[in-house]
Chains A and B, each alone.
Chain A
Amino acid sequence: MDSPAESQKLCQSRGYTFPLLSDANADTIRKYGVLHPKGGTAGQDIARPAEFLVDANGTIRWVNLTDDIRVRARPEAALTAIDRL
């Protein structure tokens, strides 16, 4: 799991403008049901890759899961889901 300092390096090197948050003890990961126990290189708990679209009322409107860590949501898929909000 990346510390805020590591995430800061990633943000700067890629020029991200969105918030990059750190879920150090995987609590939020567990609440969303995307825990990958001991999946990290040092045996730490990490997340399985997943994307959620939440609307203004706090309801989940789109979920993208994957069964392969190499295959993630394409931006077009997220944009289409956002257009449907």
Chain B
Amino acid sequence: MHRNRNILIWVGFAIVLVALVSYIPFFAVFPVTRDIPWANYILFLAGGAVLAVGVRRAFRDSAHYRGKISGSILAVVSALLLALFVVFVAYFTKQIPSAGNALSVGQKAPAFVLPDTAGKPVSSADLLKNHRGLVLIFYRGYW
């Protein structure tokens, strides 16, 4: 008897992979899906659901559907990938020192002279001249 390849297992896992790898290059670009990665969580859920249906089919109707072993492995891997993602967004990205030392409102902003992308020195005094103010954005130096 022909046993179906059980495509749902593979489609489900593919969706889980998309859920994992789409955050940084795509969803993290938009604040609405970056701060709380709900779009990725939805994709994980969708992938997991499709995978679950596929695995259930493999066990309940193994005469017609393959995938008891492959489905089980992919299900475990998917759970690990979800755990990895959750650790990243809920723990890893919060590992920064406390902000206790940061200057606060009312204090004088220290002057600086720093090179721009052409190597030319730029001074804070010049940036403030003839302007209402200056926004300083400290980013991490890479992402």
Contact = CB atoms under 8 A, between A and B. Distances in A.
B133 A54 contact: yes
Contacts, number: 162
Contacts of B116: 4, 7, 19-22
Interface size for chain B: under 10, 10 to 19, 20 to 34, or 35 or more residues? Answer: 35 or more
Nearest to A21: B114
Interface stretch (B13-21, B61-69, B71-79, B101-109): B101-109
Nearest to A33: B101
A67 B141 contact: no
A19 B104 CA distance: 23
Interface of A: 1-2, 4-5, 7-8, 11, 19-23, 27-29, 31-37, 39-41, 44, 46-56, 58-63, 65, 67-74, 78, 82, 85
Interface of B: 28, 31, 34-35, 89, 93-94, 96-97, 99-112, 114-119, 122, 124, 127-128, 131-142
Nearest 5 Cβ contacts at the A-B interface: A33-B101, A8-B117, A21-B114, A31-B110, A47-B138
